[in-house]
Structure 1
Amino acid sequence: MKDQLRQPLMKYGRMLLQQVQKAIGRASAIGDQAFFPPEQFPWARHIEENWTTIREELDVVLTRREDLPNFQDISPDQKHLAKGDNWKTFFFFAYGLEAPGNCARCPRTMELLKTIPGAKTAFFSILSPRMHIPHHCGPYKGVIRYHLGLVVPEPKEQCRIRVADEIAHWEEGKSMFFDDTFDHEVWNDTDGMRVVLFMDVLRPLRFPMSAINELIIKIIAASPFIRDAKQNHEAWEQKMAQLWR
């Protein structure tokens, strides 16, 4: 029954969101483009200044890279984006649901994440060498995607993201903000691993759209897609509690 309801929910949910997206674009306090200057998010400077703190905890996590869950293991609805073991994740939280084991393993990173206003999702996104994430569009314009470069292989020009018709490259310790509802894709055409701190943060909106956005975020948090991801991650955490002793 759950699977039978899933597709209709996705279909009608997307239809509703398409109407909301236009209103969000008009009410955006930071414009409606593919990429955004980090200066529009004052908190990003503090995160950049402390990026090596995050990197130190990440390095410990990466010693267990093979044990980490794949993106599609946590969110099966995204299985069209990744196959095999090429996109690993280490979640801290997502839409109000916290991963307590992971948070405890990276306490200094969590302290930094708590300073970010409107943070809705946070995890380490770990791409294998020669990995390509095919083009796709995010479902909801009420959040802005944030990447902090943590491990960027050389040549960095071969590790890139396209959003709409613009291409950008990550740099270690530097922030990148973009609207993931624009068509985008990622290439890591190097022989090294790429890791970013991957986050969704609330888009700054003018009232009353800001209040409507908060309500929609709460609805998303209660959706079966988020609940299923939570159950999948809890199962992984139980397994890792034994392995990471």
Structure 2
Amino acid sequence: MCHFSIHGDQPVFATEQFSWISEVEASWHNVRRELDAVMAYREGMPNFQDILREVGGIQKDDHWKTFFLKGVGMNCSENARRCPETMRVLAVIPGCTTAFFSILSPRKKIPPHRGAWAGVLRMHLGLIVPEPRKRCRIRIADQVHTWQEGRCLVFDDTYNHQVWNNTDGYRVVLFVDFERPLRWPLHSLNRWVLNLAALAPILREANAKQKAAERSFWQKFAAKTIKP
């Protein structure tokens, strides 16, 4: 897979390699405003392992919350309807497969782990980055990076990586997986595999859990001040 990668095979990619990144970064304030509207109800959001069972191997507490907007085989229509500006940003990302607000509580650590499929790349758009920024960081292979509000970080999650939020604030990124740009014929094969993935039992289970979590969340907060 990596041999056919248009942008090469490395843990972290220069954002200049992706022409659409500048448009995403230019619109980050719109995404942040929609995040702020839902962050008031963070406690009601599902934990990541409540949606995707396999995340339970690295996360068992309630300090990594998710607000899904898009996912392979997932119906996130109500969350998406409430965040139209964020959905417009996602529409400019070619081959966007997964997107959610990834919310880490103060002092939260995510242990070393790695993704299973090199056919996607991961992007984090920094939305809330607490200070001191150097104490809120991610290690990808042998590289350590910090997030910056309004800036993107693109990496290959099949490299071993881990996260620390050693601050007293919340760290929030727009977490996006998108199709890895590949040369022919792997491009077509990769898209076929990603489309087929929606039928996998673990993702069908995740869709059911997401639909239930979304329904419960909006029933609870429908009378609140979150507006579409």
TM norm structure 2: 0.95
C-alpha distance in structure 1 between counterparts of 2:84 and 2:179, whole Å: 23
Per-residue CA deviations over 1:155-175 (Å, capped at 9, x if unaligned) read 111000001000000000000
- The equivalent of 1:223 in structure 2 is 200
1:178 to 127, 152, 155: 155
- In 2, the alpha carbon distance for the partners of 1:84 and 1:53 equals 30
Q: Contact 2:73 / 2:199 at 8 angstroms: preserved in 1?
A: no
Aligned to 1:64: 41
What number of residue pairs does the alignment pair up? 222
Counterpart mapping for 1:133-152 below 5 A: 133-152=110-129
Instruction: Find the residue that maps to 1:122 and give its secondary structure.
Output: strand
120-129 vs 77-86, greater mean Cα deviation:
77-86
Q: Is the 8 A contact 1:138 1:182 kept in 2?
A: yes
Match of 2:95 in 1: 118
SS at match of 2:172: strand
- Greater alpha carbon shift after TM alignment, 26-35 vs 219-228: 219-228
Return the match for 1:203 from 166, 177, 180: 180
| 1:189 positional shift | 0.6
Aligned equivalents of 2:213, 2:2: Cα separation in 1:
37
Which of 180, 193, 196 is the matching residue for 2:170? Answer: 193
Query: What is aligned with 1:3?
Result: none
Q: Could you tell me the percent identity over the aligned residues?
A: 48
2:19 & 2:221 partners in 1: Cα distance?
A: 36
| Alpha-carbon distance, 1:124 to partner | 0.2
What root-mean-square deviation, in Å, do the aligned CA atoms of Structure 1 and Structure 2 show? 0.8
Query: Among residues 28, 41, 56, which one is paired with 1:79 in the alignment?
Result: 56
Instruction: Tell me the secondary structure at the aligned position of residue 199 of structure 1.
Output: strand
Looking at both structures, which has the greater relative contact order when contacts are Cα pairs under 8 Å and sequence separation is at least 6? 2
Offset from partner CA, 1:34-61 (integer Å, 9 cap, x none): 0000011111100100100000000011
TM-score of the two chains, using structure 1 as the length reference: 0.89
Partner secondary structure for residue 61 of structure 2: coil
Residues 184-219 of structure 1, C-alpha deviations (whole Å, 9 max, x = no match): 000001111000000000111000010111111122
- Matching residue of 1:243: 220
**How far did residue 97 of structure 1 move?**
2.5
For 1:73, give the aligned amino acid: D
Given that residues 111 and 162 in structure 2 are in contact (C-alpha distance below 8 angstroms), is that contact kept between their aligned partners in structure 1?
yes
**1:130 aligned to 107, 128, 137, which one?**
107
Identify unmatched segments of 5+ residues in structure 2. 223-228
Q: Which amino acid aligns with 1:89?
A: T
Unaligned runs of 5+ in 1: 1-23
SS in 1 for 2:184: coil
Deviation at 1:96, TM superposition (A): 4.3
